[in-house]
Amino acid sequence: MHNLFNLSGQVALVTGANTGLGQAIAIALAQAGADIVAAGRSAPTDTETAVRANGRRFHAVQADLGQHAQLAGVVEQAVGAMGRLDILVNNAGIIHRADAVDVTEEDWDAVVDTNLKSMFFLSQAAARHMLANGGGKIINVASLLSFQGGIRVPAYAASKSGVAGLTHALANEWAARGINVNAIAPGYFATNNTAALRQDAVREPQILARIPAGRWGQPSDLNGAAVFLASAASDYVHGVVLPVDGGWLAR
């Protein structure tokens, strides 16, 4: 049974792995045996230290994932540094909070380009490599707002609904060709993106009261779902958007 979750000899590319959910996922995959390539704008120093402490190789690729022209190069650098690519985790994302009547085109484009457009074109670049080399696993980080509308985050809700839709669409195309495409939909987690909510004296208790588990998620709460979807244990799982939300959607 242990071998089902063993990622030894595999290489995972994780975007936005310098902090928060991406960092936790990268470390979890390393603990399961994978070597890690971390891609993003900021240096993933702490992530590198943790990955290497688990005896795994690590490579960082600096890239602005909101810029389409840089995405194919990210996969090329990952393969060039590690010799292969087996797992892609599309985690990088941003959020902009504003009333819908105040959202600017610039704010909209920044969120959608980073959260949705980059996910598609990075998946496309990774799939071209994976299809030529026997397959692989693509894990997208969706959101509760892939199912719901949220409050004052229209671009984020639209982008994460798109992540769910693309997860289904790409799974339909690539499942029979050896690539599993699935998504994790985190609930309310204690990360940089939710700092404003956790400091809001009105919204924070409202959110906490709605979570059956009675607490905000911690990044490490995603570890099991990430390793499952990256491993042989999920070989017959395609097009799933898996909520990890403390029971939020059940209430």
The pLDDT value given to residue 2:
65
Across residues 240-247, what is the average pLDDT?
98
Segment 174-205, tens digit of pLDDT: 999 999 999 999 999 998 878 888 999 999 99
pLDDT at 1 over 80: no
- Percentage of the chain surpassing pLDDT 90? 92
Q: Where in the sequence numbering do the catalytic residues fall? A: 156
Task: Could you list the beta-strand ranges (E) of the chain.
Answer: 11-15, 35-40, 58-62, 87-90, 136-141, 179-186, 241-244
Task: Set out the domains of the chain in order of their start, with CATH numbers.
Answer: 2-189+219-243 (3.40.50.720)
Residues 38-65: pLDDT tens digits?
Answer: 999 999 999 999 999 999 999 999 999 9
Q: What is the 3-state secondary structure (H, E, C) of 75-142?
A: HHHHHHHHCCCCEEEECCCCCCCCCHHHCCHHHHHHHHHHHHHHHHHHHHHHHHHHHCCCCEEEEEEC
Could you read off the pLDDT of 107-151 as tens digits, one per residue? 999 999 999 999 999 999 999 999 999 999 999 999 999 999 999
CA–CA distance, 66 with 53 (Å, rounded to integer): 31
What percentage of the chain exceeds 70 in pLDDT? 99
State the pLDDT at residue 73: 94
* Gap between the Cα atoms of 56 and 67, Å rounded: 29
Q: How confident is the model at residue 13 (pLDDT cuts 50, 70, 90)?
A: very high
Q: Which residue has the higher pLDDT, 27 or 203?
A: 27
Residue 111 amino acid letter: V
Q: Are 217 and 206 in contact (CB under 8 A)?
A: no
List beta partners, residue 183. 140, 241
Mean pLDDT value across the chain:
96
